[in-house]
Structure 1
Amino acid sequence: MLFEELQPDLQQWLRSVVNQGYKTEAIVDSLRKAGYESSVSSAVQEDITALRDAREKVAVPSRNPSPWDSGVKTTSDREVQVLMTAQKPNLVLFGNLLSGEECDELIALSQPRLKRSKVVNSQSGQSGQHAMRTSSGAVFRFGEFPLVKRIEQRISELVDIPVSRGEGLQVLNYAPGAEYKPHHDYFDPQYPGSKKYLQRGGQRCATLIIYLNDVEAGGSTVFPSTGVNVYPRKGYGLFFSYADEQGGLDPLSLHGGSPVIAGEKWVATKWMRLRDYVDEKTGA
């Protein structure tokens, strides 16, 4: 059975457990216990081997000395705290990235345009709703509102990536039970569906998640390959990078949004590219 023939959520799960180092026998046993037919469980053994081989061949992005050593990063309009750094995966947790008022205003701006979030089909390149991602989202054009423009500039100064390389700021709302199962934000060049996205600014190289509210329970950002687990706190931001100019991609950037148990979760997400981003709708 070809890996591409599996359901997307099963593909993601297989990537996750392979990256975590689980043995083939344990993975197959878990599939059988989960109710998969023996023929499926046995057939995916070749897929598991292929994933493990691919993981070993991946060129992990080079690690430069951390620019976050001072503990505080000053932009033109704000002092942002550097609360935590890690290199596997390469991530930084910021405090005081947005004020409480900015968080509230961004939520208010997004509410009238919320729609069910979509995921990209790695084979066709088409996007659509899927059970692995059950949030609602709203996307803003570059500088669409003064607040959006200010946040985009602040992000650019903070992570030293030009505004022109960022995709439109996206606000996501997770109701109780909503989640985003583990996934990579980069476009895997092995799959044909990635081609059209890579043409619009090259590979995604980094992600910034900004937490817009405190969540009563659940809703953490989890990196299952490394055990990193970040709980939402209003105004905080989680930045992680995973691609470089040489084509290196970091599989340890596998991450997900755990289910919201109580209350709701609001985040703003900014994806960044290696080159200037071209919006599919506006062409700019």
Structure 2
Amino acid sequence: MISLAVHCAHREPTLAIEWADLGEEERRYAYFFEHYLGELVMLSATAVSKTWWGVVGYPPETFAMWPYRDAVIGFARSSFTSDSSFGKLCHSSRERDARPTSSLRCWMSSGKHGAASLAPFAVEELSSLEPRVWLIHDFLNAAECAALRQLPEALVAAEVMVSNEQGEVQESRTAALGWLEKNANTANVYHRAEIATGLSMESAEKLQLLNNGVGGHYMQHTDPVDSWLGPFNGDRLATLLVYLSDVAEGGATAFPLVGLSITPRRGSALFWFNLKENATGHWQQDESTQHGSCPVLRGSKWIATIWIHERAQAPDFNYTLP
């Protein structure tokens, strides 16, 4: 079966992993990836650039081959362990905060200055303590999600290496990503984000499009970047994360410090503030917002993220949704 996967890769690389998935025991996987991974990656990259973008409009799940070895065989369990709070959340089926939920609420939001009165947002409060996290249902419709997935002409494979608390380098992100300019194609997303959050999009970053295939994940982290954008626009005040696809299995967004995980649902958007005011009235990073993307087990995960910065915000803005 492994030989069939390799042969398949030469004629149709996008099916190679599916054939490999039907192979034999783990040791055969190890041999397969040791000898053929590089060749398959090269062939798949060619397939993506020459075939899939022209026919389908977005990349196949062959980007999953980079993390597939770690996801299937478990060679990198040291960087993603089930005994960590993040790992436990990813391995459980829990989708809500472990704390009492009697104070949580849902409402129909008319948005900033009542701009969404005719088509209000359905907002669900997922956490009322630190960090406060909200889920905006049906932020985008199915057609809008599909249109965003088809915008970039080339996603870039990303394997970002970061250090853990012990200073050891570990894999953090395995995905394909692209940045979408602020133009007519994305204007409606920014406009809707401003209405839904009540925050100005003037200093918001370009919209980041991210695709995770099988095994794709992002270890827990916080979003503020402090130095490289701070002097210009201030830090990342808030995050709006929009799910552009459902995920067959896995791919939850997990907040390990508060025991909260959210299953991706196409069109819905997560929102939270990354900074909080300290005793002196200055902004500081909210460590409780540590979050990550659990590994995709089946299917493909697409998200679009807008990081909203401090600059251009009203000095008396509310630390909540309108």
Give the one of 123, 128, 133 matched to 2:173. Answer: 133
Q: Which residue of structure 1 aligns with residue 204 of structure 2?
A: 166
Contact 2:203 2:233 in 1 (8 A): yes
> Residues 256, 117 of structure 1: CA spacing in aligned structure 2 closer, same or farther, 3 A cutoff?
same
| Matched position secondary structure for 1:162 | coil
| Matched position secondary structure for 1:196 | coil
172-181 vs 70-79, which moves further = 70-79
Q: Which residue of structure 2 aligns with residue 91 of structure 1?
A: 133
Query: C-alpha distance in 2, partners of 1:120/1:152?
Result: 30
Q: Which residue of structure 2 aligns with residue 71 of structure 1?
A: 108
| Matched position secondary structure for 1:101 | helix
Query: C-alpha distance in 1, partners of 2:246/2:292?
Result: 18
Query: Who wins on radius of gyration, i.e. which is larger?
Result: 2
Give the one of 144, 147, 150 matched to 1:105. Answer: 147
Query: C-alpha distance in 2, partners of 1:150/1:256?
Result: 27
1:212 aligns with 2:249: no
Contact 2:248 2:299 in 1 (8 A): yes
Q: TM-score, length-normalised on structure 2? A: 0.57
Contact 1:102 1:147 in 2 (8 A): no
> Residues 139, 276 of structure 1: CA spacing in aligned structure 2 closer, same or farther, 3 A cutoff?
farther
Output aligned runs, 1:123-202, within 5 Å.
Answer: 131-143=171-183, 146-187=184-225, 194-202=226-234
Contact 1:12 1:182 in 2 (8 A): no
Query: C-alpha distance in 1, partners of 2:233/2:179?
Result: 18
Give the one of 144, 147, 155 matched to 1:114. Answer: 155
> Residues 179, 121 of structure 1: CA spacing in aligned structure 2 closer, same or farther, 3 A cutoff?
closer
Work out the percentage of aligned pairs sharing the same amino acid. 29
Query: C-alpha distance in 1, partners of 2:126/2:199?
Result: 18
> Residues 253, 69 of structure 1: CA spacing in aligned structure 2 closer, same or farther, 3 A cutoff?
same
Contact 1:12 1:183 in 2 (8 A): no
Contact 1:242 1:253 in 2 (8 A): yes
User: Could you list the runs of 4 or more consecutive aligned residues of structure 1 that deviate by over 6 angstroms after TM superposition?
Assistant: 9-13
Contact 2:79 2:171 in 1 (8 A): no
> Residues 160, 147 of structure 1: CA spacing in aligned structure 2 closer, same or farther, 3 A cutoff?
same
Structure 1 spans left out of the alignment, 5+ residues: 1-8, 18-65, 123-129, 188-193, 278-284
Deviation at 1:106?
A: 0.4
Query: C-alpha distance in 1, partners of 2:247/2:134?
Result: 20
**Number of residue pairs matched?**
205
* Letter aligned with residue 107 of structure 2: S
> Residues 78, 148 of structure 1: CA spacing in aligned structure 2 closer, same or farther, 3 A cutoff?
farther
Deviation at 1:11?
A: 10
101-110 vs 196-205, which moves further = 196-205
Contact 1:103 1:234 in 2 (8 A): yes
Give the one of 57, 73, 81 matched to 2:122. Answer: 81
* Letter aligned with residue 292 of structure 2: G
Contact 1:73 1:80 in 2 (8 A): yes
Q: Which residue of structure 2 aligns with residue 271 of structure 1?
A: 307
Contact 1:201 1:273 in 2 (8 A): yes
Higher relative CO (Cα under 8 Å, sequence separation at least 6) belongs to 1
Contact 1:113 1:138 in 2 (8 A): yes
Contact 2:135 2:268 in 1 (8 A): yes
What's the Cα RMSD here? 3.2
